[in-house]
């Protein structure tokens, strides 16, 4: 699984080196990313993390678009420093000029969302539903209190849950 990713990362760096006529430090490549993001570039660690599930489900587009997208972040950081915007003109220049790709900020991959349980809390206000995460619900059970911003009363667990 890592072989095609590493090969594509290397080819992106070679393209950048040919374009800018200078060497770039190679990053560590990881497939330890979960959730909605296809890839993340950690600028100061010189690290690229990719989502293995999204890669497996969209491998052709992933190698064509996502890998250069993330490499462009690291190249832009090495060229222009910390003060640039993540998807600013410097990054866009690299996407268009070096990789000849559209500078799309987000992917359009289908994402399987897992269902989550929400714990419903209420206050005296009419129609007051406050869906708490399991983590926040656990904090309440340990003694933490949350107040309604309108009436300033303590939010109380209704005994209801819902799955989203």
pLDDT digit string, tens, across residues 101-127 = 999 999 889 887 778 899 999 999 998
85 and 129 housed in the same domain:
no
Domain of 157 in residue numbering reads as 117-163
Residue 44, annotated as binding a ligand: no
Of 60, 70, 90, 160, catalytic: 70
Query: Rounded CA gap, 60 and 103, in Å?
Result: 17
Predicted local distance difference test score (pLDDT) of residue 1: 73
**Among candidate residues 41, 70, 22, 78, the one with its CA nearest the CA of residue 14:** 22
Residue 106, in any domain of the structure: no
pLDDT at 101: 97
**Structural domains of the chain, count:** 2
Residue-level pLDDT at 86: 95
In this predicted structure, the answer to whether residue 164 has a pLDDT above a threshold of 90 is no
Specify the residue for token string 């410097």: 90
Q: Is there a domain that residue 107 lies in? A: no
Q: Residue 158 falls within a domain, yes or no? A: yes
Q: Is residue 24 a part of any domain in this protein?
A: yes
> Would you place residue 16 in the very low, low, confident or very high pLDDT band (cuts 50, 70, 90)?
very high
Q: Give a yes or no: residue 109 inside a domain.
A: no
User: Is position 77 annotated in a ligand binding site?
Assistant: no
Query: Is-catalytic flag, 100?
Result: no
* Helices (runs of H) and strands (runs of E) counted in the chain: 6, 6
The predicted-structure confidence for 28-80, as pLDDT tens digits, reads as follows 999 999 989 999 999 999 999 999 999 999 999 999 999 999 999 999 999 99
Which of 48, 72, 99 marks a domain boundary? Answer: 99
Ramachandran category for residue 152: left, alpha or beta (phi over 0 → left; psi -120 to 50 → alpha): left
**Whether residue 59 sits in one domain with residue 8:** yes
């Amino acid at each position: 699984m890592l072989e095609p990713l590493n090969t594509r990362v290397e080819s992106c760096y070679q393209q950048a080196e040919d374009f800018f006529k200078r060497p770039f430090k190679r990053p560590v490549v990881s497939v330890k990313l979960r959730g909605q993001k296809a890839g993340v570039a950690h600028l100061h660690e010189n690290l690229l993390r990719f989502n293995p599930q999204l890669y497996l489900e969209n491998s052709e587009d992933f190698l064509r678009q996502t890998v250069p997208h993330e490499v462009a972040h690291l190249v832009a950081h090495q060229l222009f420093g910390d003060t640039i915007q993540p998807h600013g003109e410097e990054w866009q220049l690299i996407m268009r000029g070096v990789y000849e790709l559209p500078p799309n900020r987000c992917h359009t991959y289908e994402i399987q969302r897992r269902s989550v349980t929400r714990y419903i809390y209420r206050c005296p206000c009419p129609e007051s539903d406050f869906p708490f995460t399991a983590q926040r619900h656990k904090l309440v059970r340990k003694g933490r209190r949350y107040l309604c911003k309108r009436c300033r009363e303590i939010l109380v667990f209704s005994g209801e849950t819902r799955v989203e």
